[in-house]
Amino acid sequence: MQSPVAIQSKKATFDVSLLQFGFKGFSELVQANMTMKNNGHTVQVDIVDTSLRTHGGGVTGGYKPVQFHFHWGADNTKGSEHVIDDHHYPMEMHIVHYSDRFQKIEDAIDKPDGLLVLGFFFEIGRHNIHFEEVFNYLENVAHKDDTTEIPPVIMERLVPIDLVHYYRYRGSLTTPPCYESVVWTVFTQPITISSSQMSDFRNKIKKTTVNATHEEDLVDDFRPLQQLNGRNVYSSFVTQKPSTQAPQTVQPINVVCQHSHDDTNNAISTSLSLFVIFISILTSGFMYGHKM
């Protein structure tokens, strides 16, 4: 029941109950500043606003978002924790929630379905102005144990437009103590950021403290893939399945006309009939002219 896992889209089972999520408060500025910190293995942003809720998406009850953090690689060929059809993304963001059945995350962290984590991939492309509201403060948490406050953001702007297509499975936290209490949701549409924005993580963030003798870049902070061990991965959409039928053989059209014996006889008969009619017309014309 450990995470992350490699997801094969053709093996995912379509689940009609995996409907669209609802996000209460995500379209508005959060009601308090957030705290960004470097804990030595990731950059984490704590969400202080307790009014936000996530519901729907095939989960029971509501879940409260408490933080989001990032996993990234030393280059663009790796970084994401989850893998889709053998494709690795350069970075992955996790928005961590706990069930509102509990008073605080410490009570939910080791309970079945106590946590909900929304996973989002990143790809390199155009500059993302919305993430500048977060990335601009990375230099303030360059070293382990650094913290800084960042102004409120609109959470809706940090996630992709398509929140309908996603995968679902039961798993664990990807960092110790790796409790198997997570309802994982991995969205298919990646978030686009620029190459320079991605470089900020690789070049500015260190896994060492400010007083360390030798600085060490914080990269490749992703856990190795774990075995599914019989677990099912579900999808909110119908994925293409491999065909179990033998492919149909389509005979090519023969553009060379090949007449049968009957076709030839019919053609000869038609030609003779036309010839007789033609002779009759000529004869009639000749006789008519002779009488005149």
Count of CB atoms within 10 A of residue 265's CB?
A: 11
3-state secondary structure of 98: strand
CA distance 148 to 133: 13
Phi/psi of residue 282, each to 5°?
-60, -45
Q: Are 141 and 209 in contact (CB under 8 A)?
A: no
All residues at 6 or more sequence positions from 173 whose CB lies less than 8 Å from its CB, including other chains: 3, 109, 115, 179, 181, 182
Burial environment of residue 172 by CB neighbours within 10 A (0 to 12, 13 to 18, 19 or more): buried
97 is catalytic: no
Closest by CA position to 119, among listed 7, 1, 240? 7
Contact 54, 21 (CB under 8 A): yes
Pairing of strands 43-46, 34-38: antiparallel
How far out from the chain centre does Cα 158 lie? 15
| C-alpha–C-alpha distance, residues 222 and 79, integer Å | 6
Dihedral angle over CA of 190, 196, 201, 204, nearest 10: -170
Q: So which residues are the catalytic ones?
A: 41
